[in-house]
């Protein structure tokens, strides 16, 4: 069988389809619109930038600025793909001073929503009004409007049901929106930013200094917490603030890095900063800082991802070294005990962390509690049924103790306090399929979980593998612990008490099961750990742990 030599199966896609595909990369959720429109307003030299959202941006996102505005021709052109006023030749890519340059944002947003534009230049009497809907121009006419630009985005993703469905609750989207809003507001403290949600002014950031701006976004911080950073070399300049380790709030999610005014995630540079903080922070607390790095535009490439949140730096190694020393000097102001070689050890921060070798799993109950060897006289005890302990204390009291409940309580409090936890590798890692949303949540939690002895790998955004659990837990609990984790990650927003939930699950599934055998030192360790608990009488699931066997209680028993 032959086919015609003229058969054409390949075709060049129409513009509308191309725009929709590209929109998939640029516009992931309402927060992406906030970011792109906000960046355009900043590029337009606006001094007042206001954001309005409704239903977390699902129903409406409006950004109004008092910037340079657009001519009637530009007002239509701006929705074309690769239409930009910011670069003209490839050479210009090496001298970027603007946030935008790809000319994709407005085309992408207009491909997946209804977009209305009002714009006027200061020199024009009359402005321009343009309406775009799902990639098509609906209207373009002269209009009376204020100087500057207003863009209104409605019906986001209405024709992309998959995206629409993957949006989370209004509140969660609102949180993402605010996050992008703050990332725009930090590098431009001299401009006035406002954010309204459901018609209420939720954040008002009038022109201020950088430290005032940081403090108005973070009322939980005080001025003493902020240590200024400053350094300048012929190759780069750094300024900003580091938060003192002892005043770093525990709920903090990230430190902020800006390169040439742009919010950037850079694993290499941020690792260096993290290493400087590490000996000074409890394992579950992340460092908080605002670092502004200025490098010649030709030495940084942000054209790495569509959202431009990653960067390649020509002088990365030099910048790493410099950041390490800038932070060590700043943190030397901490009142905490600093490592002896704090200021004199420039190379240490350049090493990447190597995962620690995993120790063999202890199986008996005492070592798993991770306490120092017990002191004091040995206790008299009797183990019943491999589970219940009758204990005579040094004070002459007698207690009846359920060892299973006691073990759960001790594990629970240990994880909740985030005490140093050693991971124990699993011979048979637990594995489970995950949704993209769960994946995102888990990826965010990964470093926190790691500090809690849970080592997690995300495979191709589809599967999660649990490779290690805290030493001292039953390896058989891995599956149940992973399930508990997936449950936590499945909720719309991370429950505020997720640590407590995880600690509860870890204790419940991870506690060794009876029958137990106990050495005398183990009894001592166990009793001391139980007494150190905030609630030594009940297990986290509410079961009684111990009874005092007083004379009256025993007598009552025999009545």
Residue nearer to Mg ion on the CB measure, 100 or 240: 100
| Helix, strand, or coil (residue 143) | strand
Residue nearest to ligand ADP (CB): 100
* Contact partner at residue 41 from ligand ADP, Mg ion, none, CB < 5 to 8 Å by partner kind: ligand ADP
Residues 142-181 as x/- pattern, contact with ligand ADP by CB under 6 A: -------x--------------------------------
Question: Could you give the CA distance from residue 342 to residue 349 in angstroms, rounded to a whole number?
Answer: 11
Q: Which one of 54-62, 66-74, 127-135, 491-499 is the stretch in contact with ligand ADP (CB under 6 A)?
A: 66-74
Q: Is 105 in the site for ligand ADP (CB under 6 A)?
A: yes
Q: Decide the pairing of beta strands 398-402 and 388-392.
A: antiparallel
Residue nearer to ligand ADP on the CB measure, 105 or 401: 105
* Contact partner at residue 443 from Mg ion, ligand ADP, none, CB < 5 to 8 Å by partner kind: none
Q: Is 34 in the site for ligand ADP (CB under 6 A)?
A: no
Q: Is 57 in the site for ligand ADP (CB under 6 A)?
A: no
Q: Is 67 in the site for ligand ADP (CB under 6 A)?
A: yes
Residues 241, 186 contacting (CB under 8 angstroms)? no
**Lookup: tokens for 241:** 């603030």
Residue 515 preceded by cis peptide, ω within 30 = yes
Which residues inside 186-225 make contact with ligand ADP, applying CB under 6 A? none
With both helix axes pointing from N to C terminus, report the angle between 210-217 and 170-185 in degrees, rounded to the nearest 10: 170
Choice from 22, 28, 61, 78 touching ligand ADP (CB under 6 A): 78
Q: Is 467 in the site for ligand ADP (CB under 6 A)?
A: no
Q: Is 270 in the site for Mg ion (CB under 5 A)?
A: no
| Helix, strand, or coil (residue 430) | strand
* Contact partner at residue 322 from ligand ADP, Mg ion, none, CB < 5 to 8 Å by partner kind: none
* Contact partner at residue 514 from ligand ADP, Mg ion, none, CB < 5 to 8 Å by partner kind: none
Residues 284, 448 contacting (CB under 8 angstroms)? yes
* Contact partner at residue 368 from Mg ion, ligand ADP, none, CB < 5 to 8 Å by partner kind: none
Residues 328-347 as x/- pattern, contact with ligand ADP by CB under 6 A: --------------------
Work out the number of other CB atoms within 10 angstroms of the CB of residue 223: 9
* Contact partner at residue 170 from ligand ADP, Mg ion, none, CB < 5 to 8 Å by partner kind: none
Q: Is 44 in the site for ligand ADP (CB under 6 A)?
A: yes
Q: Is 68 in the site for ligand ADP (CB under 6 A)?
A: yes
Residues 63, 46 contacting (CB under 8 angstroms)? no
Residues 195, 181 contacting (CB under 8 angstroms)? yes
How many Å from the N-terminal Cα to the C-terminal Cα in the chain?
A: 99
Phi, psi of 380 (to 5 degrees): -85, 135
Task: Give me the least distance between CB of 180 and ligand ADP, in Å please.
Answer: 15
CB-based contacts of 484: which residues, under 8 Å, 6+ apart?
A: 501, 502, 505, 506, 509
DSSP E strand boundaries for 516-555: 546-548
Task: Give me the least distance between CB of 182 and ligand ADP, in Å please.
Answer: 19
Choice from 20, 40, 424, 529 touching Mg ion (CB under 5 A): 40
Sheet containing strand 546-548, strands side by side? 380-384, 388-392, 398-402, 546-548
Which residues inside 66-105 make contact with Mg ion, applying CB under 5 A? 100, 105
Q: Is 40 in the site for ligand ADP (CB under 6 A)?
A: yes
Nearest to 22 by CA among 160, 168, 161: 160
Tokens 């997946």 appear where? 112
Nearest to 471 by CA among 436, 423, 532: 423
Phi, psi of 35 (to 5 degrees): -65, -50
Residue nearer to Mg ion on the CB measure, 49 or 285: 49
For ligand ADP, the binding residues (CB under 6 A) are 36, 40-41, 44, 65, 67-70, 74, 78, 83-86, 100-107, 149
For Mg ion, the binding residues (CB under 5 A) are 40, 100, 105
């Amino acid at each position: 069988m032959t086919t015609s030599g003229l058969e054409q199966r390949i075709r060049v896609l129409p513009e509308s389809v191309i725009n929709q595909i590209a929109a998939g990369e640029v516009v992931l959720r309402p927060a992406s619109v906030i970011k792109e429109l906000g960046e355009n307003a900043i590029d337009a030299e606006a001094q007042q930038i206001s954001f309005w959202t409704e239903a977390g941006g699902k129903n409406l996102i409006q950004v109004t600025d008092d910037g340079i505005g657009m001519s009637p021709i530009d007002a239509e052109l701006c929705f074309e793909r690769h239409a930009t006023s910011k670069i003209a030749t490839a050479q210009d890519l090496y001298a970027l001073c603007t946030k935008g340059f790809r000319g994709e944002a407005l085309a992408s947003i207009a491909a997946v929503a209804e977009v209305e534009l009002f714009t006027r230049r200061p020199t024009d009497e009359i402005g321009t009004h343009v309406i775009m809907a799902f990639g098509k121009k609906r209207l373009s006419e002269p209009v009376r409007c204020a100087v500057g630009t207003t863009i209104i985005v409605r019906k986001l993703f209405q024709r992309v049901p998959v995206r629409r469905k993957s949006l989370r609750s209004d509140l969660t989207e609102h949180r993402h929106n605010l996050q992008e809003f703050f990332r725009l507001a930090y590098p431009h403290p001299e401009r006035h930013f406002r954010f309204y949600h459901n018609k209420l002014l939720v954040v008002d950031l009038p022109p201020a200094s950088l430290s005032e701006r940081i403090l108005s976004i973070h009322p939980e911080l005080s001025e003493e917490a902020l240590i200024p950073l400053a350094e300048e070399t012929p190759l780069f300049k750094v300024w900003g603030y580091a938060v003192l380790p002892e005043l770093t709030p525990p709920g903090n999610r990230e430190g902020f890095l800006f390169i040439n005014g742009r919010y950037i995630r850079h694993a290499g540079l941020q690792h260096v900063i993290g290493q400087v903080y590490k000996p000074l922070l409890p394992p579950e607390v992340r460092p908080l800082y605002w670092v502004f790095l200025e490098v010649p535009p030709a030495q940084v490439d942000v054209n790495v991802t569509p959202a431009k949140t990653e960067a390649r730096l020509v002088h990365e190694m030099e910048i790493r070294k410099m950041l390490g020393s800038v932070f060590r000097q700043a943190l030397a102001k901490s009142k905490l005990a600093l490592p002896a070689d704090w200021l004199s050890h420039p190379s240490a921060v350049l090493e990447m962390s190597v995962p620690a070798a995993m120790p063999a799993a202890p199986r008996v109950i005492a070592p798993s509690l991770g306490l120092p060897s017990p002191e004091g006289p040995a206790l008299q005890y009797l183990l019943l049924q491999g589970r219940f302990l009758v204990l005579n204390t040094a004070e002459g009291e007698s207690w009846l103790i359920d060892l299973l409940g006691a073990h759960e309580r001790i594990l629970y409090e240990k994880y909740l306090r985030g005490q140093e936890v050693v991971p124990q590798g699993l011979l048979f890692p637990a594995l489970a399929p995950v949704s993209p949303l769960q994946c995102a949540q888990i990826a965010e939690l990964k470093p926190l979980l790691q500090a809690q002895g849970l080592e997690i790998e995300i495979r191709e955004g589809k599967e999660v593998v649990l490779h290690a659990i805290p030493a001292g837990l039953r390896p058989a609990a891995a599956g149940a612990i992973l399930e508990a984790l997936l449950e936590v990650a499945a909720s719309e927003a991370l429950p505020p008490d997720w640590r407590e939930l995880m600690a509860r699950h870890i204790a419940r599934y991870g506690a060794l099961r009876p029958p137990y055998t106990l050495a005398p030192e183990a009894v001592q360790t166990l009793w001391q750990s139980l007494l150190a608990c905030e609630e030594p009488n009940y297990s986290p699931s509410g079961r009684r742990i111990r009874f005092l066997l007083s004379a009256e209680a025993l007598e009552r028993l025999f009545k």
